Amino acid sequence: MPICVLITVALSFSSLSAQSQPAPSSADARLRALYTQEWNWRQQELGRGTGDRFARVDAASQQARLAYWTRTLATLDTIPFDQLSPEEQINAQIFRTSLRALVSDVQYRTYEAPFNSDTFFWTDFTPRQGFATAAAYRSYLALPVLEERMKRFIAEESATQKQ
């Protein structure tokens, strides 16, 4: 078989392969951008991953989160579900469920759970998976910074409980 025939056959298979795997749609790109932006915002807002601060937990901060997540849900609603790839349809459903839970938690004020409850605000003092490095532990344990963060955090929680 001449080499040009082999090249032609190989190119035809590669073009068929490329056609069977569609390029990501603009709906996919919009969804990825939205959930990536929200995740980055959430990590910053809730002080996750850094170990250097506790999230604000006062009522005004809770309402600001509610507004952000409500806007994010509204933006998610503008992305045509039927134009998403099958993988991103799953991601969209998971993202929507997660956002609804976050919105619901603020709407039903679960952040006001009493101190003698078995979960809630005091479980946020450290990440469940621990810290990644010794430096992150040292940063977290740095006194008097930790003490001041905890005082503010507990004062905000106490004020929220009294409302």
The pLDDT confidence band at residue 22, using thresholds 50, 70 and 90, is low
The pLDDT confidence band at residue 57, using thresholds 50, 70 and 90, is confident
User: Cα angle at 148 between 144 and 150, to 5 degrees?
Assistant: 115
pLDDT of residue 115: 58
Average pLDDT, the chain: 77
pLDDT of residue 146: 63
Q: DSSP secondary structure string, 49-103? A: TT-S-PPP-SHHHHHHHHHHHHHHHHHHHTS-GGGS-HHHHHHHHHHHHHHHHHH
* Residue 88 CB neighbour total at 10 angstroms: 22
Number of DSSP helices (H) and strands (E) in the chain, helices first: 6, 0
Is this structure's pTM higher than 0.75?
no
Per-residue pLDDT tens digits for 68-113:
999 999 999 999 999 999 999 999 999 999 999 999 989 988 877 7
Q: Say which residue, 121 or 1, is predicted with more confidence.
A: 121
Per-residue pLDDT tens digits for 26-48:
999 999 999 999 999 998 888 76
Count CA atoms closer than 13 A to 96's CA, side-chain side: 14
pLDDT of residue 127: 61
